[in-house]
């Protein structure tokens, strides 16, 4: 498969470009659906599906982050976008970081939630556990993901039946097609790339993130030239746990950057 072949994607709206990259195990619609609906009146929104998500085929070879970044840009251009605001969650934030470093002229502004510069041994052990459980016991993986991805506010409000219902929903989303995404998570190293980002950037941390803890976002923010760093309550799964807060932070930042660019 050519490294610059566009990814399957959702496209909606009209106006300046806004590209949204989902996290591991999600897809364009599950991660970004409410945000797409909220901003399509003023942005052309492109939300690619990473390999193994949506209709994007699984790559037979291990995913290459640079090639994936190039495919995101190819996807945006296939939708008519030469420049765009760029938002990523989790491995989507990692991919967005690579896009902004490799294609600085294409990125108007950047929002990175739950991103990281380099996978440590601790995260590598965790991602290996995910892959093992996905192959052998997806229902158990779903419960583990809920407990590590969601913040104490949401978890403390669930009763047994609600937790079981949430776990069933997570289990239904889990598919071995995402193993390539998990494998990519294990070998992220953007130390040589992150300093090349020139776009104004918001690095967003969730205070209760047990998957990619906030010290990773502090490291990321410290390496970027034009950066704001914001930490909010919640877990790694903030887009699902508190979508109203999450999406309002993104839209406020992107709208501000768009307005400043028009002055």
For the stretch 6-28, pLDDT in tens is 999 999 999 999 999 999 999 99
Placement of tokens 């470093």 in the chain: 101
Spans of all domains in the chain = 9-119+189-262, 122-176
- Range 48-71 average pLDDT: 97
Instruction: Say if CB 214 and CB 205 are below 8 A apart.
Output: yes
Position with higher pLDDT, 4 vs 218: 218
- Rounded distance between C-alpha atoms, residue 2 and residue 13, angstroms: 28
pLDDT, average across residues 234-248: 96
In percent, the amount of the chain with pLDDT more than 70 equals 98
* Number of residues that make up the chain: 263
What number of other Cβ atoms are within 10 A of residue 49's Cβ?
A: 21
pLDDT value at 2 more than 70: no
Q: What are the residues whose beta carbons fall under 8 Å from the beta carbon of 239, sequence distance 6 or more?
A: 23, 31, 32, 89, 113, 246, 247
What DSSP letter does each residue of 102-136 carry, written as one string?
A: H-GGGEEEEEEES--SB--HHHHHHHHHHHHHHHH
- Convert the pLDDT of each residue in 107-123 to its tens digit: 999 999 999 999 999 99
What CATH topology corresponds to 9-119+189-262? Rossmann fold (3.40.50)
Average the pLDDT over 163-187 and give the result: 96
For residues 67-87, average pLDDT: 98
Look at residue 146 in the predicted model and tell me its pLDDT: 97
């Amino acid at each position: 498969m050519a490294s610059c072949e566009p990814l399957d994607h959702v496209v909606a709206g009209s106006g300046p470009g806004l590209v949204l990259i989902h996290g591991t195990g999600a897809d364009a619609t599950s991660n970004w659906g409410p945000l797409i609906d909220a901003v399509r009146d003023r942005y052309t929104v492109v939300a690619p599906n990473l390999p193994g998500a949506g209709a994007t085929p699984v790559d037979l070879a291990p995913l290459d982050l640079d090639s994936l970044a190039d495919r995101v840009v190819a996807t945006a251009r296939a939708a008519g976008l030469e420049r765009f605001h760029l938002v990523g969650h989790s491995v989507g934030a990692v991919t967005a970081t690579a896009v902004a470093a490799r294609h600085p002229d294409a990125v108007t502004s950047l929002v990175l939630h739950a991103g990281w510069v380099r996978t440590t041994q601790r995260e590598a052990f965790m991602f290996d556990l995910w892959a093992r459980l996905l192959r052998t016991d997806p229902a158990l993986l779903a419960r583990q993901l809920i407990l590590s991805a969601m913040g104490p506010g949401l978890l403390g409000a669930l009763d047994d039946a609600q937790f079981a219902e949430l776990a069933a929903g997570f289990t239904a989303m889990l598919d071995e097609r995402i193993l390539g995404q998990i494998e990519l998570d294990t070998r992220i190293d953007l130390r040589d790339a992150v300093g090349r980002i020139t776009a104004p950037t918001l690095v967003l941390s969730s205070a209760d993130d047990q998957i990619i803890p906030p010290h990773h976002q502090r490291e990321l923010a410290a390496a970027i030239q034009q950066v704001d760093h914001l930490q909010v309550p919640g877990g790694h799964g903030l887009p699902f746990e508190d979508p109203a807060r999450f999406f309002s932070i993104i839209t406020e930042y992107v709208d501000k950057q768009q307005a400043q660019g028009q002055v």
